[in-house]
Structures are given as C-alpha cells and as structure tokens.
Chains A and B, each alone.
Chain A
Amino acid sequence: MPDLLLELFSEEIPARMQGKAADDLKRLVTDGLVDAGLTYASAGAFATPRRLTLTVEGLTDASPTTVEERRGPKVGAPDKAIEGFLRGAGVAREDLVEREEKKGAFYFAQVTTQGRPAADIIADLVPGVIRTFPWPKSMRWGAGSLRWVRPLQSILCILSDEAGAEVVPFEVDGFSAGNTTEGHRFMAPGRFAVSSFEDYETKLRAAKVVLSAEARAETIWHDATNMAFAAGLEVVEDKGLLAEVAGLVEWPVVLMGEIGEDFLGLPPEVLQTSMREHQKFFSVRNPATGRIERFITVANRETADQGATIIAGNAKVLSARLADAKFFWDNDLRIARDGMGDWREGLKNVTFERRLGTQAERVERIAALAREIAPMVDADPTAAETAARIAKADLNSEMVYEFPELQGVMGKYYALEAGLAPEIAAVAEEHYAPLGPTDDVPTAPLSVAVALADKLDLLTGFWAIDEKPTGSKDPFALRRAALGVVRIVETNGLRLRLDRYFDAQLVRHKGALIEDVQSEEVVDLLREIADHGVFGAAFRAVVETRGKASEGLETMASQVPDKSDDLLAFFHDRLKVHLRSENIRHDVIDAALSKPPTDDLTLVVARARALQAFLDTPDGENLIQGYKRSANILAQAEEKDGVEYRYGADAKFAETDEEKALFTALEAANAAIAPAMADERFADAMAEMAKLRAPIDAFFEAVQVNADNDIVRRNRLNLLHDITQTCGAIADLSRIEG
C-alpha cells in the first residue's frame, strides 16, 4: 500500500487563493484516482506561499483487472461488422463464442481490462490536473504555454512504501516530476530530496518551512497574544488578517513594535485600518485605556539581530503612513470644528447617480423622510433631520477619501468635534448599519430613523429610475438595503406602514425626474400623503383642491403606485429569504402575506412566526384539518351551485345537537378570538381556532351538509364559510401545503 506525495512548487501564490487551491488539488487528484479504480485510506492537502502539497496514504498498488462480456453482431453478420467489433473489443476471431439469445444467435467476446499500476495512473492523471487547475486567475510566463497562478518552478511526485520511494515519471510543459524540493527562500536555500511525506514534512521544517497553514496561524496567534500579554497589552482579534498573514509566510516570526507617540491620539479605528490595510499589522491595545499602542508584524524569517532591523523598518514605514493619516485628521478637525460646512457644501459637487442627482440632494431627501419617520420610532423630528443632514458630511473629509471603509466612523468623531450631541453624532456611524446579514442593527431612535430613511431613499430612487437588481447583478446593493430595513423594523419591533414612506419618497424622486410637474404640487402631495397615508387618496385630494392636475402630476399618478407596489413585493421576497433562516416555511409566509396590511413587516413577521410555531404543534394540525375540511366542502358546493355562501349562518336553523354544538363553539371561539386578535396574541387566537376541530369533526360525522331542505343546506354552507373566516383571520390557510 504505497503513499503518494505531490508538490507543485512555484513563485509566491496569493494568500487569499491558497486554501481553496489546496482543497481543489486534493479533490481533483483523489477523484481521478478513484475514477481510475484505485482506493486510498486518507488524503491531506497543504499550502504555503510557494507550494501546494498533497499526500495520499494507503493507495492501492494497482487498479483491478476487470473482465466484461460484450455482445457483438449476429452470427452470420457481414465480415465487416464482425471485424469492427473485434477491433473495438481488442480480441481475435477465434476468441469469440456463439450463444443463442431470444432474438437469435450472437457473437460474444470476453473483454479483459488489465489493471494498471498506480504510478501509471498518477502519471496520466496529474498533468491534466495541472493543466486545467481552477485558479481564479492564472497566467503564462516565459515562452511556455502552461498556465499557473504564478510561474511553476518544480514538481515533486513520489510513491513510497517500506521498500523506498520512486519518482512517478511524467512531464508537463518541460517540467519533469522529481523527488526534490526547496526550503525557505532565504533561510535555507538549495534543493533536497525526500523519500516520504513524513520525511518531506520533517526536512521542510528543518529547512524553515511550516507546511500547514493552520499550524502557522496558531503559532502566529499564540506568539502574538503571549508577546502582548507580557507587555500588559492585548492583540485586537482579526481572523481574516490572521489567515492572510499565515499565507504570506513559510516561517512565521512574530515581532512587536511601537507606534510613535505622535500618533497615539488618532482614533483607534484609523490606526487599526491603516495598519491592517497597508501593512498587514495586528493592532495591540491597552485594555485599561482602549488605546491602540503597539503593532505586531509577522516576518517570514529569523535574523541574527532578532528582528531589530525588520521592526525598525516596519515602524518607519508605519510612521510615514500614520503621518499621512495624522495630516488628514488634523486638516479634517479644522473643518469639523467649524461645523463641517465645507464638506456639506462640497456634497453639492459630488454626483450620487446621474439621474438621482448629487449627494447633497440625496441628503436633503433623506432628511425630509427621516423627519417623517421620526415620530413613529420615538425620535425627535428636528433632531432626526439635523442628524440626517450631517450623517454623510464625512464623505468629503480627507480621511474618508483615503480610507473609504472609515465612512461613518469618522463622521461620528467629526460630529462630536463640531459640538453636536452624542446621539446625533452616533447617527453618522449607525445609519449605514446593518451592512451584512449578521451585523448589529441600530436601536437608538435617531439612528433608526435616519438608517431607515437612508435605505428607503436608496431603494425608492433606483425604483424610480427602473434600476432594479436582476439575477446576480445588484451593483447598488439594493437587496442588502431592503434586508437592512427588514431587520431594523423587526429588531426594534417597529409598527410602520412602509407604503406611505415608499409613496412619499417616490414622489420626491419623481418630482425631480418628471420635468413638467410643479413644485407646489409636490409639496401638496407630500402633505396629503402625510395625512392620508397613501398616494391615491392624496392625489385625489390635491386634484380636488387645485382644480386640476398638471400633465407631470398625471404622469406621476400613473407611475408611483405601481412602483410602490413593486417595491413592496421586493421587500416581501427579502422577507422570505430572511425568514427561511428561521425555518419558517415559504408557504407559511405566503399565507401570512395574504392578509393585509402587508407593509407592516412586524405584523407580517409576527403572524408568520405564530403560524409556523402553531403548525409545529398537534393543535396546528387540528386547525389546518378543521379549516380544510370545511373549506373543501364549501368550495365544492359553491362551484356546483355557482353561488357564494357568505351571508352568515343562523343558529335557529340548526337541527342536530352536533350542529348546535358547532354554532356554540364557533360563537365562543369568536368571542375569545376577537380580543386576542386585537391584542395581536396570535398564538392564543389560533389555540381558540384549533378548539373547533372536535365540534367540526363531530358535525361532519353526524350531519349531512347537503340536506334535502334547501334552507337547512344553505345555512350549513354559510356556517362552513363562517368557520373558514374565523380560522383564516390570521393567515390564508388555503396556502398551507400538505
């Protein structure tokens, strides 16, 4: 049972590609081996900046020899056909046997496929894997035609067992597989031969290469935290950076250096961002003060001076970087303390989107909407407007120009410097949230108001100009924005009718986009929307007071409601995706969405959650069965009769005890359900509905709905309708599958 060792040695592989490449190598080679009839006990793949390595242990020596019987032409077929068959099967004429089948006599051949030694299979397989390797980006070099992530330098491929190791002979574009590799580029130059994976790993370590990325990352984190701890400090955790740095070194050496005194006053986010982005340094924090005071860099080597030169060099580069950052910070502070007027003025020259105007115009729209949303989220309208006006001022600061990822964070610092209240300053940072599906959601009322306004303005804007996401294309991250709204509403339990804000903001956008609409009309319309809640009624009110609508206003009326509905449908799609992660079924959400109002997302979510939870209980089954039994019979009768039975049943026509009992039960249920619904105690309401199962079953058991007496029959059908109404108060249960 030999072991396979394969190493593809190259110039430096980008850190971000190493992990996937190691996995791909393992998958492609082991799949190929298995397809060729070999089996193996275990396999492992590794990557360093200069190599991809695969070890496959306990490989079978050879693929098995297989014998297969193949049916040929009919006995008596033309020679040409028989010869063709012989060629294909690789047998001689005398090897054929004749045998009688149902359809006559046929020739048969025993075709033997000889097993192949593992080395042959590998030698055939690996060149193809190399040539077609799925790098995200690959290149050619020199005069060759082979593609690899960076120039390939050598291939090591051996099969080893107790008896020794053999090179698996193959060649790819002039590279012949051998049994040698190289150690660390600087600390242990020169090639050496290896005889097994164990030997390879040991010799590599002696040659200052740690093969495993996990082991390198562990060493880095262990040494970094120890070093910081010894100095009474702590390393700021950064898993992404750790993985990246582990992919930049073969022999990690952790070094800690000082950040110049001049720069310690910079905000920690600035220090951290500058160090991480430009230098790939970890930040080291003083736990007592929260200040970032030192940096940790990971070198790729040991040196005679214990890294002194390397630390000094890195510290110097960092100083130059931070000098830039401090220059930006100092310049920005002057403008911030002056009230940020220059920046806000400057937003007038920054195009947000060609059709949607400048950033300044966008800010004005957000401020107007934030003011309207504020009362619904317990925020002060004037404060919300002020906060919205300053929330994006930092986009024009030098720091954000240099580090775009610090937008908002800098805004908060600068707003504080401008003398604004902390809760207003916080809006600059928090109104962008949540960015990812697991990001924290803002909860401070002002931040909530502006975060919602910001996202709703973005969405309505792109809806207004028909730039909706399609397929995988969502360049303005509109799905993320809608999900953000969903999560803000849900987390804060907000009771908002989104329709009204969609309409208002679409009117603001369309007011600017449609040429011949009058500005007074837009003002009137917005005021009426605030009063009436929706576009249609507001539009009628405006036409009524003004006597007539301009052509532009008519255009608006023909567009806004459709776009608003379409946007709500987009939100519902986001909601479905979002709730799927909670295991709320698609059909359950559909059922909840079929009861208005559907623009109150908190209500929709509450109904969907309650329904899903209820369906998971035995009572849930009762509710659905009771409902469906009633609904089915009702539907059949309505279809047969061509009428709808919706006029209310009367208990006085009830004949049997079971029928009377059902009337009583329904009355009791309705009495209990009404207050539960009013209080939005949906679980309680559904528990009441479920109680109807027993009387419903008893009723169907004892009573013939299709009575001869037409009055009695109609009354029973109307009773069934009442039951479906009662049970469908929370969601349209007919949409529940199964």
Chain B
Amino acid sequence: MAEPTTPRSFQEIILRLQTYWAEKGCAIMQPYDMEVGAGTFHPATTLRSLGRNPWAAAYVQPSRRPTDGRYGENPNRLQHYYQYQVLIKPSPPDLQDLYLGSLRAIGIDTDIHDIRFVEDDWESPTLGAWGLGWEVWCDGMEVSQFTYFQQVGGHDCHPVSGELTYGLERLAMYVLGIDHVMDMPFNDPDAPIALKYGDVFRQTEQEYSRHNFDTATTDVLLKHFEDAEAECKHILDQAADDPKTGKRIIMAHPAYDQAIKASHVFNLLDARGVISVTERQAYIGRVRALTKMCADAFVQTEAGGADAA
C-alpha cells in the first residue's frame, strides 16, 4: 500500500472519507436538512437500519448539542459540530478492516499508532435504540464509535447494521496536530483565501451559545415541543390508503421529521436549564414514544421491508 500522506485541512479529511467509502460501495448521501443531535438521527440511519432491505450509506451530518456550547472558547467543545456516519446493513464480516482502511485513508499510519477497540455499549434513550461495539482508540484518543445495532425504535434489527461514527473535529485535530479547534485549517492552508475553523464558526458558536443558554424563549419552545408531538401523531393517525391518489402511502418520514424536531427542542429546553431531573426522563420518554411510532410505521412500508401490498 502506498505510504499514506497526511491531509492538510479539515475538509480534506472529509473528502478523503467520502472518497474512501464511495470506493467501498456506499451511497454518499448529504446531511439531513434538520437540526439533529447526532448523525444517527438522519433517517438514512435510524429508519434504514430497520427492516430486511440491504443498505449502505455514508454522509457528513452537522450535529447540534446546545448544552455543549462554550462560546467558541473551549479547545474541544462546540454546540455545532460534524459527524461522519457510515451505515451498512447487513454488517459485512470485514467491517473492522474496512474501518481501519478508512483511518489509513485519512493519514493515520496504523504501523506507528496504537489502535484499540475498547468496549462501549451504545444506547440512545430517545431513539429507543441500543447496540454493542466499541469506542476506537488511537493512542488513547477516542476517534470513532463502532456499533452493531441490535434494536432501533423498539424493533429488533434483522439483519444487523454496522454503524461507524467519526467525530470529525476531534479526529481532524488529532490528524492535523491542532490543539484548539478554532485554529484548525478548514481549507488548504496555502489556498489564496485560507480559512481556519474559527473563521467559519467562532462567531456562530458565540451567537448560538448565547441564544441556547439565555435567549431561546422557553414558552415558545415548550409549545413547539407539543406541536411537533401532536403533528407526529396526527401524521401517523392517517389511513394508509391515500384517498387522493388511491395509493398506499404511509407517511413515516414526515412523521419522523416531527420526532427529530421534538428531540431538538427538548435539547434546547435542556440547555435553557428549565427541565428538572424528573421531567427530563418524562421528556425523553415522550420523544422515544414518537420515534417508536415512526419505526412502527416505517416497517410497514416498502423501504422498511414490508411486502408490497
């Protein structure tokens, strides 16, 4: 194998991952156009991990965690960051090797680094999902999550999907040798207009931190949560047969959008500090109930592996 070269920028790492997984046969998808807490929320993972149809997708997903906002000052923490997500169903027998190939592709020489698979059971209470796998360590640094999905939306996964999640900023900082995320070259450092991560995101981190922590109107958010919850149920309450077209159309995805919305609003409310410990569990349960309903609906559809009516 050719000596891997070291990438020079954040975007080069993303591009190399895209190229690598495209070569390995994944459909390279685009980010989902909604606010989500992690790449797993993208319907290309959550919904597509359900049912018997094979699937292979990879994509970048901007992710938001309002409570992690640090006004752009913390070297490692951001309220908005990127995840790279790969989902292959059924999980191929050589998924670990494929994964290690992706590390080599972004310039990690596995001959001089110490790569380890350390036990980490994954669970998402809001998605009603869990799986077994590892966090992958490179010289003691967690560079990815590696999970075999066992259950999603309360449904057993058959076949099982293998999911890889790379925390892109952290991984890129490691590969590029950067100590503060805002100092990381976003594009090529020799480009005519060289941009650092901070040039792109420092200001937005400040703005969103202030908004998330102090400004977001909680009454409005509470209303949004309830609206999204009601809308999700409303969508799924519709009969499967569309009276207008006469076709069987179960609206799993539009309903799931509402579940995603409710989940993000909950995260904002959490950042605003208006949710007590006991209420927290109740809200998580409400979001889980929504995702479960969406999962129930999705497995009734063709993409979800149901026989065509």
Contacts and interface: CB of A to CB of B under 8 A. Distances in A.
Interface in A512-570: none
Contacts of B131: 139
B110 A186 contact: yes
B199 interface: no
B91 A141 contact: yes
Interface in A295-325: 297, 299-301, 303-305, 309-310, 312-314, 316-318, 320, 323
Interface string B167-179: 0000000100000
B64 to A, nearest CB: 21
A186 B111 contact: yes
B235 to A, nearest CB: 32
B150 interface: yes
Interface in A714-734: none
Nearest to B118: A248
Contacts of A678: none
Nearest to A11: B96
Interface string A280-306: 110000000000000001011101110
Contact of B140 (A141, A153, A318): A318
Contacts of B197: none
A12 B117 contact: yes
Contacts of B159: 142-144
B132 A317 contact: no
B91 A142 contact: yes
B76 interface: yes
A192 B119 CA distance: 27
Given A143-B159, A309-B112, A314 B91 contact: no
A249 B137 CA distance: 12
A140 interface: yes
Contacts of B113: 303, 309-310, 313
Nearest to B136: A12
Contacts of A279: 140
B154 interface: no
Contact of B93 (A139, A142, A248, A318): A142
B139 A313 contact: yes
Contacts of B141: 313-314, 316-317
Contact of A297 (B90, B117, B119, B140): B140
B112 A305 contact: yes
Interface string A363-395: 000000000000000000000000000000000
B138 interface: yes
A14 interface: yes
Contacts of B101: none
A705 interface: no
B206 to A, nearest CB: 19
A284 to B, nearest CB: 16
Contacts, number: 100
Given A186-B111, A299-B114, A305-B112, A139 B138 contact: no
A15 to B, nearest CB: 7
Interface string B80-116: 0000000000111100100000000000001111111
Given A151-B93, A303-B112, A14 B119 contact: yes
A643 B96 CA distance: 86
Interface residues of A, number: 42
A467 to B, nearest CB: 16
A310 B109 CA distance: 11
B277 interface: yes
Interface string A1-38: 00000000001101110000000000000000000000
B140 A139 contact: no
B148 interface: yes
Interface string A415-448: 0000000000000000000000000000000000
A249 B118 CA distance: 10
A139 B119 contact: no
A351 B277 contact: yes
B139 A310 contact: yes
A317 B148 CA distance: 27
A354 B279 CA distance: 12
Contacts of A151: 91, 93, 148
B278 interface: yes
A306 to B, nearest CB: 10
A151 B95 CA distance: 10
B121 interface: yes
A150 interface: yes
B117 A186 contact: no
Contacts of A141: 90-91, 148, 160, 162
Contacts of A313: 113-114, 138-141, 174
Given A142-B92, A354-B278, A314 B140 contact: yes
Contact of B134 (A12, A142, A317): A12
Contacts of A140: 148, 150, 157-158, 160
B254 interface: no
B75 interface: yes
B274 to A, nearest CB: 13
B117 A11 contact: yes
Nearest to A314: B140
9 contacts: A140-B150, A142-B91, A151-B91, A186-B110, A249-B116, A310-B114, A313-B114, A313-B141, A320-B76
Closest 4 CB pairs of A and B: A313-B139, A14-B119, A12-B117, A143-B159
Interface of A: 11-12, 14-16, 49, 137, 139-144, 149-151, 153, 186, 248-249, 279-281, 297, 299-301, 303-305, 309-310, 312-314, 316-318, 320, 323, 351, 354
